[in-house]
Amino acid sequence: MEFCDECGSMMKTDGDKWVCPEGHEKLRDRAKEATMKTTQGQEHSSAVDMSDVDDAEIGPTTRVKCANPDCDNDRARYEMKQIRSADESETRFFTCTECGQKWREDDH
């Protein structure tokens, strides 16, 4: 993946150069590209079967009230991801250990 030095947009290849949506261009560096990772060919990858995995192996849990009003459980698996700009806090994603309800929590 290459980003434009002028506007910061993600660039796409066009022959022997990289081009951004704003029209800025720079020459491709084949040696640098050889070290890049690609997702090409992964479009049809299959889901991972987690049915035989013990819940203790999936990740950390925390004490939090389930978002499902019909569930009284107070434990959920969680993970944190940076989905907004780097100067904002991470978003917490929860999955109830009892009913499987998923929800997210953002700091405002």
- Indicate whether this model's pTM tops 0.95: no
- Count of Cβ atoms closer than 10 Å to residue 66 Cβ: 21
Please state the residue numbers annotated as binding site for Zn(2+): 4, 7, 20, 66, 71, 96, 99
* pLDDT one-digit tens code per residue, 27-55: 998 888 888 777 666 666 666 666 676 65
Helix (H, G, I), strand (E, B) or coil at 16: coil
Q: Which residues fall in the annotated binding site?
A: 4, 7, 20, 66, 71, 96, 99
Alpha carbons within 13 A on the beta-carbon side of 58? 18
Helices (H), 22-106: 30-33
Say what the pLDDT of residue 9 is.
Answer: 86
Q: Per-domain residue ranges for the chain?
A: 2-33, 55-105
* CATH T-level assignment (fold) for domain 55-105: N-terminal domain of TfIIb (2.20.25)
Segment 49-78 mean pLDDT: 82
Specify the residue for token string 């700091």. Answer: 107
Neighbours of 94 (CB within 10 A): 21
Spatial neighbors of 57 by CB under 8 A, at least 6 apart, are none
